Structure 1
Amino acid sequence: MSMDVSFVACVAAILLFQYLVSAGQHDVAHNNVARREDLHLQRKFQHLGTGAMIYVALNFFDRLTGASVLLLFALFFYGLHKLRGRSKTVNAAYIKWFRNILRQHEVSRSTLPGAYYFLLGSGVSLAVFPIRAARLAVLHLSVGDPAAAFFGTLYGRHKLVTLFGKLGGNKSLEGSVGCFCVTAISTLAALIVEQDFYFDMTGKEDVAVVAGMVSLAAGLGAAAAELLDLGGWDDNLTLPLLSGVFLQFTVGHLL
């Protein structure tokens, strides 16, 4: 399959996925609304699925091509955000299309959409990190952020603001632990399944040991990146960048 065909197929798959996730029934029974609002299940599924497809798609492109495509789409969402403020028709169509996965502040346009920061964080990660660390950073964003939100919403009792002050934001210890576990397990699975991509070594025992070390570092880095509220910057931007930096400084020599 040529790169052009692969590119079209990947973009088409991602766009189709966005439509399928956001095109669910809009009228939800009242007793389900509160739970759905709390967990944002469709949003988490969209976040996870989109990130997973980007991660897989990076098998077909070199690092800079992938970065260019993601940053181009980030620019598109930025332009669309501005256009929504100028055209009621565009704004209405946007809300109708994506209403099931939009937060209230995204509907009101008080902030840029999460999709913009997701694409920006992924694109910049690919632009500045080596391909192995960059792909892992995208993976961590894909699974770590939804895991933290899911476990934090369900079980979050201990707020990190008591430990870290303003840096802890509204995050919880339970959410951070969930982020660590899910990210570490996902990283280990990726390293084992794609060991030919991530490692130059051939010994299975060596790969297992190194994969374990990298996975623990990945979990720690992603959890730390997720729990810190850095001046109100969106997690979709800070998590992959901080995770990538942490990987490079701790286990980059192993990848």
Structure 2
Amino acid sequence: MTQVHKHEIPRKALHVSIGFLVLHFYSRGYQPTHITPFLLSAFLPITCADLLRHRIPAFNAFYIRVLGALMRESEVDSYNGTIFFLAGTYLVLRVFPKDIGVLGVLLLSWCDTAASTFGRLWGRYTPHIRKGKSLAGTAAAMFTGVASAAVFWGYIGPKLGTPFGYDVGVNAFAFKGMLQLPGAVCGYLGWNPETAKVTGGVAVGIASVVAGTVAAAAEAVDLWGWDDNLTIPVLCGVGLWGFLKTFG
């Protein structure tokens, strides 16, 4: 248990570093289809090892002695959060468009850490949204999400990836620098669809605020006690996909 307690900062640093690693792969031209097989390859043995340690006490003691520095206290008697992290990142990269997949991993990596850090520092001074979730932590998650999306969609996405800007074909972005009202809404309001749209920095700003709001909601919500390493990227993916499918 000592190993589990005393390495909180290294665990957070590792969590944050995953986001930078994803951006590194993105800037080198890697596609989600290049990454997901490795995630699945890691998921299977780690899951098997975790199932095994809950059935063999001697192996569990060895497991904690070796990997305890990377575990949260709650994971000692439950399943390793790495399993859910791998499952969440695999799903968001495999199921959703490329930019939503990458951003889903960034929001998990950075917003979750921001919420935890600021929640512990100042959560006692702000209202609680639910047990273990404070307004301070949720606000930190939102601001981090807005900043992450703005940097990715505003600069990294179109400039540091492939030479095709927002990518094409199966790797096309869901967000292409423009937002517009659906045709049905324009028709109901009597507006010209060509004028009911925004582009450039305004579009990036709106999409980023939505991303931050979705990330904060995903971080704060409790879905039947499921691990947030799974729910955050999946909920972010669903929320951003729904928004961009409607207004993108």
TM-score class, shorter: 0.7 to 0.9
Which residue identity lines up with residue 91 of structure 1 in the other structure?
A: N
Q: Percent identity?
A: 32
Provide the TM-score with structure 1 as the length reference. 0.73
Partner of 1:152: 119
Note if 1:45 corresponds to 2:13. Answer: yes
Once the two structures are TM-superposed, the CA of residue 156 in structure 1 deviates from its matched residue by 0.7
The answer to whether the 8 A contact 2:177-2:204 is kept is no
Structure of larger gyration radius:
2
Aligned partner of 2:45 in structure 1 is 76
Residue 221 (structure 2) aligns with: 228
Distance in 2, Cα, partners of 1:221 & 1:206:
21
Helix, strand or coil for the counterpart of 2:215? Answer: helix
User: Residue 68 of structure 2 is aligned with which of 95, 99, 102?
Assistant: 99
Mapped contact 1:141–1:240 kept (Cα < 8 A): yes
Distance of 1:116 and 1:147 partners within structure 2: 21
For 1:252 and 1:152, how far apart are their aligned partners in 2?
A: 33
| C-alpha distance in structure 2 between counterparts of 1:91 and 1:111, whole Å | 11
**Corresponding residue to 2:150 among 188, 194, 198:** 188
The runs of 5 or more residues in structure 1 that have no matched partner are 1-25, 28-32, 162-168
Q: Deviation at 1:52?
A: 2.6
Deviates more, 1:147-156 or 1:184-193: 184-193
Report the secondary structure of 1:160's partner residue.
strand
Asked whether the equivalents of residues 210 and 254 of structure 1 are also in contact (C-alpha less than 8 Å), the reply is no
Structure with the bigger RCO (C-alpha within 8 Å, sep 6+) is 2
Contact 1:120 1:237 in 2 (8 A): yes
Q: For 2:107, which of 116, 128, 140 is the aligned residue? A: 140
Q: Distance in 2 between matches of 1:159 and 1:214?
A: 27
Paired residue secondary structure (2:225): coil
TM-score (norm 2): 0.75
CA contact (8 A) 1:55 1:138 kept: no
Taking the aligned partners of 1:221 and 1:201, their CA distance within structure 2 comes to 19
Q: For the structure 1 residues 55 and 232, does the alpha-carbon distance in structure 2 shift closer, same or farther, using more than 3 Å as the test?
A: farther
Q: Greater helix percent: which structure?
A: 1
Aligned partners of 1:201, 1:139: CA distance in 2, in Å? 19
User: How many residues are matched?
Assistant: 210
Alignment of 1:6-155 (within 5 A): 40-58=8-26, 60-86=29-55, 90-107=59-76, 110-155=77-122
Q: Which has the higher strand share?
A: 2
Over the aligned positions, Cα root-mean-square deviation in angstroms equals 2.7
CA contact (8 A) 2:177 2:203 kept: no
3-state DSSP of counterpart to 2:128: coil
CA distance in 1, matches of 2:229, 2:240: 17
CA 1:201–1:147 in 2, change beyond 3 Å: closer, same or farther? Answer: closer
Cα distance per residue 1:186-230 (max 9 Å; x no partner):
11112222223356569xx93322211111011000000110011
Residues 171-191 of structure 1: CA deviation (Å, up to 9, x unaligned): 111110000001111111122
